[in-house]
């Protein structure tokens, strides 16, 4: 038994990922670790019963203990209301947790030799950091009914003069949208990216559309650059470089790059590009995700959802072949960080052995359907959800 000195906050979730969650804990973690898990069940019914207080409590617990690991959860929509008889369309738990902890989401693909990315040049992982505040995600919109004027108006809190800009004089129906961002949020995004890049020894790329948006996007460029300048010595010491370019240039270069960089993205770019990167590296089941808060708190999860379609098959007693790799990496990420913060190298070493067991299992040709479809050489058959975890367990046993 390996003792994990301080607690990890564990958040259970929904559907197929909940099934995997149980198997991973039972087969790959609890037999080997003496660990104090502070458990919060974010199952959709529990969120409903507690009026979603459980999610807020979980977020507060992560803030208290420093490290959390989360299973994928349902973000309710109209269909879920009737499926689970919910009181209301509770907000996305990830959104709630992010709002409480603040911070940046980093997504990184798990790479295995026999699962080549769709983009031939990508030989190392591209980590995408998405700024998770403002822009169109906190927009204000008007559907313009007919002729009239739309303007931007800023009314200072002090007595200074109002600032007004005409957006457009409409001669007929249209649409208009207001977005905002905050210097302090961009700054904290830049700081988190720098901290991550220094710790992982990755060069940083950042991009915006400052040739067109000479104030809004230019502000992102300048605030980010300000943080780079302030941390130059730290970046130099780690051998980390900074590269700013236009977003279209960045996209074009990414498609020919070998990877091994941290790509810092504005909110919308990160939303879109992280999905492009995820699919380009092969399978959603191989994409990991971590929320890093400016206060130094870490929350790990798989980037995919609850894999609903597989769950319905599972409920009917049919065979499923769901990839648990990203979920296992959520746990190893949390364990490695816990070990690093606690100064317990044996915990860090367990995490890296478990990761190696996952990679070697896949490399050896034992894989789930999502990977079998794209692996070269293709395995003779895809294993089931359980068989994949059992194969990883056997590999792990060899290493301990
Ligand atoms: P999803 O769960 O990510 O699954 C979409 C499809 O991607 C699956 O049907 C499956 O394709 C494939 N896939 C994803 N993960 C896989 C894995 N581990 N192994 C094998 N295949 C995998 O997205 P969704 O079906 O759109 O969303 C389902 C629920 O998840 C929704 O209620 C949504 O709100 C929630 N969600 C939660 C999070 C989160 O908690 N972080 C994130 C996204 C979505 P095939 O069917 O072709 O096999
Ligand atoms: Mg997206």
pLDDT tens by residue, 371-395: 999 999 999 999 999 999 999 999 9
Looking at residue 296, its pLDDT comes to 86
305-349 pLDDT per residue, tens: 999 999 999 999 999 999 999 999 999 999 999 999 999 999 999
Average pLDDT along the chain: 96
Compute the average pLDDT of residues 128-152: 94
In whole angstroms, give the CA distance from residue 75 to residue 141.
23
Looking at residue 240, its pLDDT comes to 98
Q: Which residues contact 317 (CB under 8 A, 6 or more apart)?
A: none
Compute the average pLDDT of residues 23-32: 98
Torsion, Cα 70 367 307 7, to 10 degrees, reads: -10
How far are the Cα atoms of 192, 337, 349, 357 from residue 352, in angstroms, in the given order? 24, 11, 5, 9
Sign of the CA dihedral with 317 first, then 319, 320, and 325 last: positive
- CA 270 to centroid of ligand 2, rounded, Å: 7
Site to probe by mutation for ligand 1, drawn from 47, 284, 285, 312 as the one with most ligand atoms within 8 Å of Cβ, is: 284
8 A C-beta contact, residue 377 and residue 114: yes
pLDDT grade, residue 99 (50/70/90)? confident
What six digits make up the tokens of 207?
């991009």
Q: What percent of the chain has pLDDT over 90?
A: 94
8 A C-beta contact, residue 105 and residue 130: yes
Please tell me the residue having the least CA distance from ligand 1 atom 40.
72
Category of 201 on φ-ψ map: left (φ > 0), alpha (ψ -120 to 50) or beta: left
**Residue 138 confidence (pLDDT) above 90:** no
Site to probe by mutation for ligand 1, drawn from 20, 78, 97, 305 as the one with most ligand atoms within 8 Å of Cβ, is: 305
Looking at residue 218, its pLDDT comes to 98
Counting ligands in written order, the one closest to the CA of 14 is 1
| Cβ neighbours, 10 Å, residue 382 | 20
User: Is 306 close to ligand 1, i.e. is its CB under 6 Å away?
Assistant: yes
**Residue 295 confidence (pLDDT) above 90:** no
173-186 pLDDT per residue, tens: 999 999 999 999 99
């Amino acid at each position: 038994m390996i003792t994990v000195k301080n607690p990890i906050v564990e958040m259970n979730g929904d559907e197929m990922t909940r099934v995997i969650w149980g198997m991973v804990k039972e087969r790959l973690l609890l037999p080997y670790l003496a660990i104090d898990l502070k458990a919060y069940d974010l199952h959709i019914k529990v969120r409903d019963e507690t009026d979603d207080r459980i999610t807020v409590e979980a977020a507060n617990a992560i803030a208290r203990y420093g490290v959390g690991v989360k299973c994928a959860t349902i973000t309710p929509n109209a269909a879920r209301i009737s499926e689970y008889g919910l009181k209301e369309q509770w907000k996305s738990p990830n959104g709630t947790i992010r709002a409480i902890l603040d911070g940046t989401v980093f997504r990184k693909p798990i790479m295995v030799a026999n699962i080549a990315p769709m983009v031939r040049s990508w030989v190392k992982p591209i980590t995408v950091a998405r700024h998770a505040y403002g822009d169109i995600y906190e927009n204000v919109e008007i559907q313009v009914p007919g002729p009239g004027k739309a303007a931007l108006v800023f009314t200072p809190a002090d007595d200074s003069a109002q600032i007004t800009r005409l957006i457009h004089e409409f001669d007929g129906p249209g649409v208009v949208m207001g977005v905002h961002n905050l210097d302090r949020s961009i700054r904290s995004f830049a700081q988190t990216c720098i901290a991550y890049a220094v710790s992982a020894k990755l060069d940083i790329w950042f991009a915006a559309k400052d040739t067109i948006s000479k104030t809004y996007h230019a502000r992102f460029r300048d605030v980010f650059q300000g943080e780079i300048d302030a941390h130059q010595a730290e970046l130099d010491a780690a051998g980390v470089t900074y590269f700013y370019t236009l977003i279209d240039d960045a996209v074009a270069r990414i498609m020919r790059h070998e990877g091994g960089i941290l790509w810092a993205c504005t909110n919308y770019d990160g939303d879109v590009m992280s999905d492009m990167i995820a699919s380009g590296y092969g399978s959603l089941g191989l994409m990991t995700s971590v929320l890093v808060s400016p206060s130094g708190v870490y929350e790990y999860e798989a980037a995919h959802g609850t894999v609903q379609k597989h769950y319905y098959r599972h409920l009917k007693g049919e065979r499923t072949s769901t990839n648990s790799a990203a979920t296992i990496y959520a746990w190893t990420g949390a364990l490695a960080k816990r070990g690093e913060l606690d100064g317990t190298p044996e915990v860090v070493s367990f995490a890296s052995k478990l990761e190696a067991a996952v990679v070697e299992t896949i490399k050896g040709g034992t894989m789930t359907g999502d990977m079998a479809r794209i692996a070269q050489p293709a395995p003779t058959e895809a294993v089931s959800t359980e068989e994949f975890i059992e194969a990883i367990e056997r590999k792990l046993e060899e290493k301990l």
